[in-house]
Structure formats: structure tokens, C-alpha cells
């Protein structure tokens, strides 16, 4: 089928990508800058045969998603940073009950009420679990409207495969901006009604013809919770091995490798292009999965090359930085450039930082 392009905001693309990816339940509470997402769901989920609920709070929304997932539906919620903080208890329960659900965080500045401008300061919250307990969410970070759409189906698939919450981590700029989008069908409404759910034998459907199913995260008998946690850890190990995803540019001859994700990565890519035009050997690593963090790509780098330096760039004061340092394991210097609270490192700032870095490293050449 011929691909048609439409101009869409990131927020709308995420919603449409979710519906195409089989999402049939959405509950959410309005918060800027992700309001286009909830409005899109309100318009389009019902005609697709799904359920839309504007919940009374983020708490109610995430618990409705917990429930819809428990009942076997592909379910999601979305919010922005302060609202995602409110959802953390529910996300912990989803992880603890091993339910597949998708949570979208269109990040804004913090802490507290912060502001509504783009930021990447919820990285720790997303990749370290966020709520109470020893759990991890699969975290995907799109950097364009097209990728935001494409990653939604993957998020639902991974959530189902591992019975684990998956987070889409974007920011206000990605959510608000419009870009051309190739939808997988020229008429997005055509094949939505097709139910593409995998068989979920564990789901709550009523115990007809089988033993009752129980969805819970509560283990009171001595030793049971530890056993359950060990099983979770085994699952996470498999995810870490199998699901690392990243993009890279010019790693072969790079002397400085930029590391950035999401919106920040596209600005960094602009800087790489300009610096390359200028003959500078600059590369880029763009993690697509933030958890599992793509540490394999760092291990493959020619880190023995003494000239190599790594520059992490974030719309935060250094969160992914920790993961890069762990992956690089002191084998190369790791530098950092970051702004937050609505500040976004510009192409110019990145170029200046790289030039400075190249100058200070020249004596070693």
C-alpha cells in the first residue's frame, strides 16, 4: 500500500501509533504538554473499538490501566512529569503483578510543578524503577514524530512479551512539534478493528472452564517475595541481553562521540553534521532503549584509542551520564553538557563544547 504522509504532532502520532499497535484502553488526566494525546485518544479510540476514560486523577488513571491490563486489554496512560510522579505507585503495582502496560511521559521541567517547557530530567525515575521495590520498566526514547509513532507498537509488543510495564520517554518539544508522518495505512481507521492481542491465559475473564486467576503483587509467606523477586531479576537479565537498541553515526573514526537521546539527539546530530563538514571526526550514539541501556555498543568501541573522548548531552544536569560512565567503565574520559528547567543545549553550544574538547586533547595527538 502506498504510504501517505500526514503532518502530525508527536503527541498525536503517539496516540495513533498506540491505536495501530493494538491499544484498546486509555485512561488519563490532562496535563501540559501532552494534552493533544489525550484529546486524540478521546476522538479516535472509541471508533477503533476501544475504551477511553478521562480519569479523576493520575492515580485513578494508572489503576484503571492496571485493571484493563489485568483483564487482557492492551492498555496505556500518558502524562507529563508531575503526573508521572503521581503514577509511580501504580507502575510499581503493574511491575509487581507482572502486567503489560504502556506509560507515556512527555517530560517537562521540574522539580515540583516546574514549568511546561521540554526537559529530560525524569531519566532516573524512568530507568531505575521510579516507584517502590526492585523493578525496572522497559524505556523507549523516540527522537522524531515518526519514531514516536513506530515505537508505540514495539512498546506494546515488549510489554506483552515480558509482562512488564514499558515507558515511552519523550519531552515537550517532541510532543508539541509537527513533522511529516508515514502512517502504516493511508486511512488510519481502516484496520483498527482487527484485534491483534496475543493469547493471555493469565488474564481476568471469569473462571469459565478453568481454575480462577488471581492478579496480585502480594507475597506474605516467608521466602515467597524473595523467590518472586529473583524471578523478576532473571527476566530483567534476559531483557538486558535481548532488547538493547540504539542508533549510531560515524563511530569508526570518531575522536569525540556524542551521546544523546530523544529531542537532544536530533540537535546533537545537527552539530555532528556541521562538525563533519568542517573535517572534525565526530560520532554519535543515540540510545533508543534507555532501559535496558545499550551498553554493548560502548563495549565495542575502540576504547584503547587514547584520543577518544565521550560527550554526554542531556536536557538535565546529568542523569544518563551515570549509565554512560558505567558502560565506558573508566576506559575513556566522559564529558558532559547539560541544561534543564526548560533550557535546551543548542547546536551552537554543542559545537563550542566539542571544539574546546578537541583543543584540550590535541597535545595527545
The residues of the shown chain that bind another protein, judged by CB under 8 A, are 5, 7, 24-25, 27, 32-33, 51, 53, 55-57, 59-61, 63-68, 70-73, 75, 89-90, 93, 97, 116, 172-173, 176-180, 204-209, 212-218, 220, 263, 266-271, 273, 344, 346-348
| Cis peptide bond prior to 33, omega within 30° of 0 | yes
Of 318 and 342, which CB lies nearer to another protein in the complex structure?
Answer: 342
Question: Minimum distance from CB of 264 to another protein (Å)?
Answer: 10
Question: Minimum distance from CB of 118 to another protein (Å)?
Answer: 9
Angle at alpha carbon of residue 357, lines to 326 and 365, rounded to 5°: 95
What does the alpha-carbon distance between residue 17 and residue 22 come to, in Å, rounded to a whole number?
Answer: 9
Question: Minimum distance from CB of 137 to another protein (Å)?
Answer: 17
Question: Minimum distance from CB of 244 to another protein (Å)?
Answer: 24
| Cis peptide bond prior to 219, omega within 30° of 0 | no
Of 57 and 241, which CB lies nearer to another protein in the complex structure?
Answer: 57
Helix (H) or strand (E) holding 360: helix 347-361
Question: Minimum distance from CB of 106 to another protein (Å)?
Answer: 11
Question: Minimum distance from CB of 174 to another protein (Å)?
Answer: 9
What does the alpha-carbon distance between residue 98 and residue 165 come to, in Å, rounded to a whole number?
Answer: 8
Of 166 and 332, which CB lies nearer to another protein in the complex structure?
Answer: 166
Question: Minimum distance from CB of 116 to another protein (Å)?
Answer: 4
Of 311 and 344, which CB lies nearer to another protein in the complex structure?
Answer: 344
Residue identified by cell 498525536 is 12
C-alpha cell at 45: 479510540
Of 206 and 223, which CB lies nearer to another protein in the complex structure?
Answer: 206
Of 32 and 229, which CB lies nearer to another protein in the complex structure?
Answer: 32
Of 214 and 326, which CB lies nearer to another protein in the complex structure?
Answer: 214
Residue identified by cell 493494538 is 22
* Under 8 Å between Cβ of 152 and 184: no
Tell which residue, 264, 263, 280, has the closest CA to residue 272.
280
Question: Minimum distance from CB of 320 to another protein (Å)?
Answer: 19
Of 7 and 238, which CB lies nearer to another protein in the complex structure?
Answer: 7
Helices 10-20 & 35-44 angle (0-180, nearest 10): 40
Tell which residue, 73, 71, 62, has the closest CA to residue 23.
73
* Under 8 Å between Cβ of 303 and 331: yes
Instruction: Collect all residues with Cβ–Cβ distance below 8 Å to 194 and sequence separation of at least 6.
Output: none
Beta bridge partners of 76: 26, 102
Helix (H) or strand (E) holding 289: strand 289-291
Amino acid at each position: 500500500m502506498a504510504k501517505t504522509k500526514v503532518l502530525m504532532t508527536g503527541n498525536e502520532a503517539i496516540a495513533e501509533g498506540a491505536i495501530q499497535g493494538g491499544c484498546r484502553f486509555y485512561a488519563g488526566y490532562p496535563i501540559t504538554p501532552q494534552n493533544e494525546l489525550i484529546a486524540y485518544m478521546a476522538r479516535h479510540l472509541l471508533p477503533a473499538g476501544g475504551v477511553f476514560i478521562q480519569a479523576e486523577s493520575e492515580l485513578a488513571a494508572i489503576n484503571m490501566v492496571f485493571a484493563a491490563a489485568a483483564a487482557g486489554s492492551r492498555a496505556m496512560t500518558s502524562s507529563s512529569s508531575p503526573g508521572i510522579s503521581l503514577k509511580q505507585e501504580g507502575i510499581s503495582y503493574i511491575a509487581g503483578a507482572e502486567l503489560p502496560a504502556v506509560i507515556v511521559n512527555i517530560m517537562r521541567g521540574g522539580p515540583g510543578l516546574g514549568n511546561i517547557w521540554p526537559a529530560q530530567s525524569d531519566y532516573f525515575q524512568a530507568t531505575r524503577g521510579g516507584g517502590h521495590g526492585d523493578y525496572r520498566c522497559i524505556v523507549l526514547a523516540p527522537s522524531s514524530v515518526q519514531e514516536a509513532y513506530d515505537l508505540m507498537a514495539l512498546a506494546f509488543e515488549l510489554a506483552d512479551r515480558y509482562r512488564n510495564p514499558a515507558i515511552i520517554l519523550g519531552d515537550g518539544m517532541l510532543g508539541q512539534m509537527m513533522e511529516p508522518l508515514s502512517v502504516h495505512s493511508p486511512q488510519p481507521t481502516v484496520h483498527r478493528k482487527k484485534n491483534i492481542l496475543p493469547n493471555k491465559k493469565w488474564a481476568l475473564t471469569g473462571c469459565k472452564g478453568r481454575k480462577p486467576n488471581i492478579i496480585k503483587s502480594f507475597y506474605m509467606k516467608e521466602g515467597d517475595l524473595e523467590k518472586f523477586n529473583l524471578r523478576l531479576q532473571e527476566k530483567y537479565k534476559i531483557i538486558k541481553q535481548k532488547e538493547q537498541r540504539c542508533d549510531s553515526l560515524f563511530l569508526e573514526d570518531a575522536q569525540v562521540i556524542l551521546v544523546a537521546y530523544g529531542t537532544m539527539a536530533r540537535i546533537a546530530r545537527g552539530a555532528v553534521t556541521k562538525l563533519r563538514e568542517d573535517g572534525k571526526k565526530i560520532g554519535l550514539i543515540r540510545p533508543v532503549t534507555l532501559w535496558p541501556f545499550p551498553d554493548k555498543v560502548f563495549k565495542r568501541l575502540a576504547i584503547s584509542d587514547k584520543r577518544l573522548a565521550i560527550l554526554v548531552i542531556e536536557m538535565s544536569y546529568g542523569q544518563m551520564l551515570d549509565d554512560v560512565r558505567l558502560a565506558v567503565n573508566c576506559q575513556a574520559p566522559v564529558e558532559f553538557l547539560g541544561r534543564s528547567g526548560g533550557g535546551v543545549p543548542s547546536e551552537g553550544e554543542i559545537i563550542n563544547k566539542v571544539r574546546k574538547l578537541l583543543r584540550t586533547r590535541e597535545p595527545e595527538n
